[in-house]
Structure 1
Amino acid sequence: MGKGKKVLAGCGLIVLIGGAVAWFSPAGDAVRDLLKTGILEKNEANAKFEGDSVAHLKALHVAAGVYHQSEEKFPETASWMDDLLPRLKTGDLAQGEAEKKLVRPDLQSESGKYGYSINSSLAGKYQGDLKDEKAVLFFESSKTDKNASGDPTKDGKPGGKAITFKGEIVSLP
């Protein structure tokens, strides 16, 4: 055996002995306890989404921002919910939980009702072209159909919440 192989074998033996000593030390106990918690196991998607309307509007705003980054415009009125849904999903949410972000909390128990609209004057627009920083992008709506759109001043839920395209939560009149 050559000198290089002996050095390599000696280093390997030192690492092996050091690892065994570390494994059975108090630090090793901590590592073993951590491994018992399942930290390295694949987590199942089982989280539930619970949030008020402000949380829903913020989620829609974030999803619209991600959409805008890839498409260079806000989603169109006819398909905005369908376009944003893939961007509302996260790995830890259980199946069907992302869809709850599209439904106003007071309508969660009513099948086929949503309660949010996109401002039809901002849909399909490039953010850089918008001048009014207070312009509402999504709002609690009196319309409850999927992919609803309209004017927040005419179609907004009285006293409801809205979010501007800049991400500011505002109250509707």
Structure 2
Amino acid sequence: MLRRRFKPNEVTFLGVLSACAHGGLVEQGRRCFDMMRDQGVVPELKHYANMVDCRFVEEMPMEPDVAVLGAVLAGCRVHNNVDVGERFAKKLMRLEPGRAGYYVLLANMYATAGRFEDAEMVRSFMKDVNLVKAPGCSLIEPNKHSFPFEVAESGSALP
């Protein structure tokens, strides 16, 4: 893009950073971030949220929000980094104690790491305080008509 004298904007960089984050390409993401600054694009929280490297988050010039911390927690689960994941999960739980998704991520991370007692402890805590994760919801729009749908706990679609 640069060779063709096309100046990437913040949306372009967001797409590249997102691709790097999903591919686990931390160093390429860092280079993209440096290039973004070189091109005069000021990084915003949405750009930092795509950098799933916890050292990078700790170097941010602003306080990370829950989107950034959640991205790091999800990255820790994917890369089986339980120690860092626990640290970020605790931060998230302090910021938004009623948000069940963080507890579910932590429990799943423990289970993936074979720490089944810890996973069960998180799930038991969720039951004790009546903390339930909302079901996933999707929206499809065939022929310009909207159709929202959810998946019930049993796995069957709700009407």
Tell me the TM-score normalised to structure 1 length: 0.26
Structure with larger Rg: 1
The structure where strand makes up a greater share of residues is 1
Higher relative contact order (CA 8 A, sep 6+): 1
Tell me the TM-score normalised to structure 2 length: 0.27
The structure where helix makes up a greater share of residues is 2
